[in-house]
Homo-oligomer: A and B are copies of this chain.
């Protein structure tokens, strides 16, 4: 059981399979946008390819096209002006279902080979994709390149590797031979066919239009399903480019390109109709709780894999690297202006302060020192712009204003508007830090997406750990952290995360940050708390996307 494209990319697949089994560092796609790695002309060509799309109709040749729609507003203030095909959703579904038979017939090896080729092709377009991600999301360039291209591709490959591992356990054929004492054995020839469940709908988010889309997209595809990508209305371009590349690979392979399509619609009703269509058997969604709960309630015919809101948090008990701790936190709070589903929102600090290598620091000192660390870190404009990027949505801007105005509690550090010389219309904001008492639960116990964080005064470390557990259990989180020099504190926090089911980072002071997760090694989400009912990636993320249909007969 093989396929030429599987053989072509065998080393990549084997690397990924080894990586998910050992969970050490590994990556298939270089994260540095370096000419040595991507080619001397790649950067310039990618920029030109991106520029050539602006102001144009993005042709996809999909079935059932009825018009064009666009209207993305760049957080950097540039004019995008791209419009995309609007297609009858029923035509996209019919096209996907039609394409599935040939995709099924290709078998797991063939599907895996084609997916690997798709990922390799996406990697070749990394620069153009990075510009599209940057300009639609407001990410800084380096982040847009890394998270938008190679890291997203790694997450896609990770899903393909899990899908391959699960599918490769299912033998194509078996001879079943049951002894019958002195009589001849009963013999049955059996065949096992892997069949995708149906259409996979992948609903993207505004901030990570590739990183949060590729896992579901490739998990569904690799397991035999057709996929309709429904991007966020303000981050269509990276999804459209992805779909075009995937359709091109399918066509080259003599496969029906309608296996993968893009659904652009100005109407939420269309998305709802799609999500509840009987042919749609899985929905991958990243976004807010409102639509997430709607999906859980209404899209009952489908498996829903949803990443929703959460309240990520950190408990600070003590440290022997106070400055490094503050520096690490300052970076986390600043990166992409906190517009990450993994950014810490609540930092629990004991009322009596914390122990450090420089002696005790009171709660107020911790507040002041963290504020200074953020200011210092963002002191150089070129660093600030590279790290902060721009604010993606008007809602986030409004939340920042609300926080700055003191409506969410005493302001420890006010958000400042910065001017980006390269993008005069960009909405750039530094983080706002707020002081808060543990009792003010309404302030910090709902997600306030963006660069808004609360330094929450708790009775003591034990109370902080208990509060962290309760917040995660009730409101969800993708990440929590702890700082302590006391093993028993770390043990207590560890046990709390087992109960609340959230990933824990311990004493981060160096070049790894609580809001970052590395494909193949770090699970993104556990699937066990309200922030997400699935993880990137694990067996559960792929195993229920296909069924095995057997047939048997006497030999």
Contacts and interface: CB of A to CB of B under 8 A. Distances in A.
A504 to B, nearest CB: 4
Contacts of A528: 195, 197, 547, 549
B498 A549 contact: yes
Given A24-B177, A171-B22, A186-B511, A543 B539 contact: yes
Q: What is the predominant secondary structure among interface residues of chain A facing chain B?
A: mixed
Contacts of A498: 104, 193, 195, 549
Interface string A494-530: 1001100111111111111000001001110011100
A37 interface: no
A551 B512 contact: no
A547 B518 contact: no
B25 A176 contact: yes
A178 interface: yes
A540 B538 contact: no
Nearest to A31: B178
A188 interface: yes
A554 interface: yes
Interface string A276-291: 0000000000000000
A50 interface: no
A377 to B, nearest CB: 19
A179 B169 CA distance: 34
A171 B24 CA distance: 10
Contacts of A550: 503-504, 522-523
A497 B549 contact: yes
A300 B165 CA distance: 29
Contact of A527 (B23, B522, B544): B544
A553 B485 CA distance: 12
B23 A174 contact: yes
B195 A501 contact: yes
A548 interface: yes
**Which of A175, A180, A494, A549 has the largest count of B CB atoms less than 10 A from its CB?**
A549
A180 B511 contact: yes
A88 interface: no
A553 B506 contact: yes
A551 B505 contact: yes
A58 interface: no
Nearest to A191: B494
Contacts of A21: 169, 171
A548 B521 contact: no
A535 interface: yes
20 contacts: A21-B171, A22-B171, A23-B174, A24-B176, A104-B498, A176-B518, A188-B512, A195-B501, A497-B551, A498-B549, A501-B547, A501-B549, A506-B552, A506-B553, A522-B550, A523-B550, A535-B548, A540-B543, A540-B544, A544-B544
Given A176-B23, A543-B543, A186 B512 contact: yes
A437 interface: no
A375 interface: no
Interface in A411-453: none
Interface string A178-189: 111000001010
A192 interface: yes
B169 A503 contact: no
A8 interface: no
B504 A549 contact: yes
A320 interface: no
